Amino acid sequence: MEGKQRVSKETLEVNLRELKRQYKEILALNLSLNMARGKPSPAQLDKSMELLQYPKSFTLRDGTDVRNYGILEGIPECREFFGELLDLNPDHIIMGGASSLNLMFDTLASHCLFGTGGSKPWSYYKYEGTPVKFLCPVPGYDRHFTCCEELGIEMITVPLLKDGPDMELVKKLVKEDPMIKGIWCVPLHSNPSGVCYSDAVVTELASMETAADDFRIFWDNAYGVHHIYEEVPLKNILKECAACGHPDRAYYFFSTAKITFPGAGVSLVASGAGNIAELKKHMSAQTISHDKINQLRHVQYFGTPEKLKLHMKEMAAELKPRFDVVLRKLEEGLSETDLATWSNPKGGYFVSVDTMPGCAKRVVSLAKEAGVVLTGAGATYPYKKDEADSNIRIAPSYPTVEELEKAMDIFVLCVKVAGTEKLLNEQ
Amino acid sequence: MEGKQRVSKETLEVNLRELKRQYKEILALNLSLNMARGKPSPAQLDKSMELLQYPKSFTLRDGTDVRNYGILEGIPECREFFGELLDLNPDHIIMGGASSLNLMFDTLASHCLFGTGGSKPWSYYKYEGTPVKFLCPVPGYDRHFTCCEELGIEMITVPLLKDGPDMELVKKLVKEDPMIKGIWCVPLHSNPSGVCYSDAVVTELASMETAADDFRIFWDNAYGVHHIYEEVPLKNILKECAACGHPDRAYYFFSTAKITFPGAGVSLVASGAGNIAELKKHMSAQTISHDKINQLRHVQYFGTPEKLKLHMKEMAAELKPRFDVVLRKLEEGLSETDLATWSNPKGGYFVSVDTMPGCAKRVVSLAKEAGVVLTGAGATYPYKKDEADSNIRIAPSYPTVEELEKAMDIFVLCVKVAGTEKLLNEQ
């Protein structure tokens, strides 16, 4: 904030008066804009409508009728399709229902109820008064944190650096504390800051020494094929874990929520042979099979992984102009101030903005009053507590480019108002 | 067995020789028939193919696009449809995914993890060494029992009488033992014996005094509209519970697994306002929403509950000739013996046969060797333990009428062989 300190109180007051005048003008417009939700736009959804013409036949190559009961782990055709797309062993994939979050929650809940690999049920530790802990790279995905909170798993934040979690800190913590049983990771185009894990980070996660034998990496590759500006490679965590002698360390989650239809796609979990056998055993008590018609629908519609990737290029073409607006408006409005920094994602669904400490809530509140709904400040932190009150998640996917132009002008103005207020208060 | 006792050893031996001769002839045929699985036949599935032409529009009356995220509890249109069909309050319905078993397991698991209505998590009792117990009317549905077994819930059997569970015993047990936290019920055309609960039984279940405040009825109305010979009415358990001052005593489960496509239909849970709020809270950590496209697909395809009922009449027309064969063959082959008794279901998916004690496993094994797969003996009891070794579940839905004719001839023969062997051994 070196530059700012030279600005006099009088100048700040003049600036703030002008900013508030502009803000008042906007209030009068009674706008209703929303940059809160990581939802595909209707134009994106339209691109998958032909999916619903499938399946055109219902018999698998082994003769199974997908319209009837059976095949808990999902149809082989679908496991092979995603195995090829993601470089996973189809035999170590279980297809879930429409939601990978559901698979993550259920996997975590099953560890709480039953333990894993012969370990004590994780709930048992809570019962004894020493709850299990998870590492949460921040800023991160609020629904991961909600899973932990719901299940009584204590969350320990670790900073998410530009190539992954702060591995020095992670390695130290997991080596020391046997109650740390896992870590949440969104390894590509992370929510919200767009971080992509480097090969070195993947290797360290796979190889590091952990005090807990039942330490698990929850690898939510939600944006694994969701490149916008640049296709970013990702080292294969499952292979790396196996190579490092920890074949059951990681659970790999994926879904087509943001490929075809959110809430009506297919999801999967992949892991080592031991974990998969264990999950199947638990899942066999929970259900008979997931929606095989929808699995076959997706396989027949896409045909090949290459076609899915082409489909994602069309999605990127919808998203890019929206991200362009957000990044351009931030650049134009704030690059010459010290009021905020922001991410430059290569893909995914979000732009992450860090205001000056203590300003995020104020910005979100000012924006809301002016008709622009943002994700709640703090939502990207466990227990919704961003100690610095600085991080704001911007979701550009749903609004139109025109709406984003307006919404971002307001956002930038709100950052300026809140920042100038703070500078004045500090004088 | 009064009649049989008059038969001499010599006669039994002659009889058994002849039966074994017939059995040997059948072995030579190398048949492969299956009466094990409660699966709809391909002809039944064909009747729902038009479902997959829907939805024809994707916007709900409130403007929501079902192709995108949201509406955890399911679309109002779908909750209203099933509310009308089943006389349930749509506001107290949550739509699940394709499997009601999944909803049952998750509800039970959530009680183990979190308790219900402010009670202790049910798992805690297990950690303390005094696990929670459930009443299991027998014979019953093996997958209900598997849920309990998986979650460490002890099962106590109670006899299923011709109009429901033995309520004298049920009332005594739940009044005395606060560790009994629930009961499994399939109130219409029960699996396997086709029992339909009388109004009096429903009222007793709703009104009875329970030592546990968090006692819950798991009301799996799996065959709620699956009438074959006769439409059987069912008293509304949720209304009855509310009228008796226990609005949150029962969870009502239903699915279209055997209405449209098993594993690709929609499911629901209904309960009192308190339970539904609690389930929604837990579910909101688990997922964002279930498959709304499939919900709307079902609503638009059926249009009205009346049309669904007509659809079920077509299903019944497929099932009736199959049940006719099973019942006729049992009647022709066994009614003049004392070797077995059986159910005369009015609907559902099964015929339940009780052999003489100690014969069920032998019958299943003989049939298997002769190429007829039956549900494993004991499967209809908790822990797969039918102490009397007497109950066998016959599933007539999947094979063709011709296959059933053959399979039932073999079944009857196997019952005779096993029964005659036993009578000889007892001499």
Would you call A287 and B99 a contact, using CB atoms and an 8 Å cutoff?
Answer: yes
* Torsion region of B247: left, alpha or beta (phi above 0 gives left; psi -120 to 50 gives alpha): alpha
* B45/A contact by beta carbon, under 8 A: yes
Six token digits for residue B292: 């709304």
Q: For residue B37, what pLDDT is reported? A: 87
Pairing of strands B250-255, B267-270: antiparallel
Six token digits for residue B366: 């003989």
Selecting from A262, A285, A294 the residue whose C-beta is nearest the C-beta of B147 gives A285
Residue A278: Cβ within 10 Å count: 21
Report pLDDT digits (tens) over A88-109: 999 999 999 999 999 999 999 9
Put simply, the chain B residues between 122 and 141 with a CB less than 8 A from any chain A CB are: 123-124, 127
* B43/A contact by beta carbon, under 8 A: no
A345 to chain B, minimum CA–CA distance in Å? 23
Selecting from A70, A123, A149 the residue whose C-beta is nearest the C-beta of B113 gives A123
Q: For residue A2, what pLDDT is reported? A: 45
Pairing of strands A391-394, A33-34: unpaired
Residue B269: Cβ within 10 Å count: 25
Contacts A67 to B, Cβ<8 Å: 45, 48, 261-262, 264
Would you call A288 and B263 a contact, using CB atoms and an 8 Å cutoff?
Answer: yes
Q: For residue A3, what pLDDT is reported? A: 46
Among A52, A106, A151, most B C-beta atoms within 10 A, so best to mutate, is A52
Contacts B97 to A, Cβ<8 Å: 97-98, 290-291
What mean pLDDT comes out for the span B219-227?
Answer: 98
Q: For residue B7, what pLDDT is reported? A: 85
Would you call A97 and B70 a contact, using CB atoms and an 8 Å cutoff?
Answer: no
Selecting from B69, B112, B264 the residue whose C-beta is nearest the C-beta of A262 gives B69
Put simply, the chain A residues between 343 and 402 with a CB less than 8 A from any chain B CB are: none
Task: Please determine, for residue B2, whether its predicted confidence score (pLDDT) is greater than 70.
Answer: no
Among B283, B293, B349, most A C-beta atoms within 10 A, so best to mutate, is B293
Would you call A67 and B121 a contact, using CB atoms and an 8 Å cutoff?
Answer: no
Q: Which of A100, A77, A71, A102 is nearest to A90 (CA)?
A: A77
Contacts A65 to B, Cβ<8 Å: 42, 45
What residues contact B22, with CB distance under 8 A and at least 6 apart?
Answer: B413
For residue A352, give Cα distances in angstroms to A189, A194, B90. Answer: 11, 8, 40
Selecting from B48, B105, B264 the residue whose C-beta is nearest the C-beta of A291 gives B264
Task: Please determine, for residue B5, whether its predicted confidence score (pLDDT) is greater than 80.
Answer: no
Would you call A294 and B291 a contact, using CB atoms and an 8 Å cutoff?
Answer: yes
Q: Which of A399, A367, A392 is nearest to A378 (CA)?
A: A392
Contacts A106 to B, Cβ<8 Å: 286
DSSP H or E stretch at residue B266: none
Domains along the sequence of chain A with CATH: 2-44+309-426 (3.90.1150.10), 49-306 (3.40.640.10)
Contacts A69 to B, Cβ<8 Å: 37, 39, 257, 262-263
Q: What are the start-end ranges of the E strands in B148-213?
A: 154-161, 164-165, 180-185
Contacts A150 to B, Cβ<8 Å: 282, 285
A101 to chain B, minimum CA–CA distance in Å? 6
Contacts A41 to B, Cβ<8 Å: none
Per-residue pLDDT of chain A (427 residues; tens, 9 = 90+): 444 456 899 999 999 999 999 999 999 999 999 999 899 999 999 999 999 999 999 999 999 999 999 999 999 999 999 999 999 999 999 999 999 999 999 999 999 999 999 999 999 999 999 999 999 999 999 999 999 999 999 999 999 999 999 999 999 999 999 999 999 999 999 999 999 999 999 999 999 999 999 999 999 999 999 999 999 999 999 999 999 999 999 999 999 999 999 999 999 999 999 999 999 999 999 999 999 999 999 999 999 999 999 999 999 999 999 999 999 999 999 999 999 999 999 999 999 999 999 999 999 999 999 999 999 999 999 999 999 999 999 999 999 999 999 999 999 999 999 999 999 999 8
Contacts B150 to A, Cβ<8 Å: 282, 285
Q: Which of B320, B197, B185 is nearest to B254 (CA)?
A: B185
Q: Which of B220, B222, B225 is nearest to B237 (CA)?
A: B220
* Number of cross-chain residue pairs from A and B with Cβ atoms under 8 Å apart: 148
Put simply, the chain B residues between 245 and 264 with a CB less than 8 A from any chain A CB are: 257, 261-264
Among B281, B286, B298, B300, most A C-beta atoms within 10 A, so best to mutate, is B286
Residue of B nearest to A40 (CA): B68
| A66 touches A295 (CB < 8 A) | yes
Residue of A nearest to B265 (CA): A291
CA dist A32 and A37 (Å) reads 14
Report pLDDT digits (tens) over A96-148: 999 999 999 999 999 999 999 999 999 999 999 999 999 999 999 999 999 99
* A189/B contact by beta carbon, under 8 A: no
Put simply, the chain A residues between 146 and 175 with a CB less than 8 A from any chain B CB are: 146-147, 149-151
Among B41, B52, B141, B255, most A C-beta atoms within 10 A, so best to mutate, is B52
* B98/A contact by beta carbon, under 8 A: yes
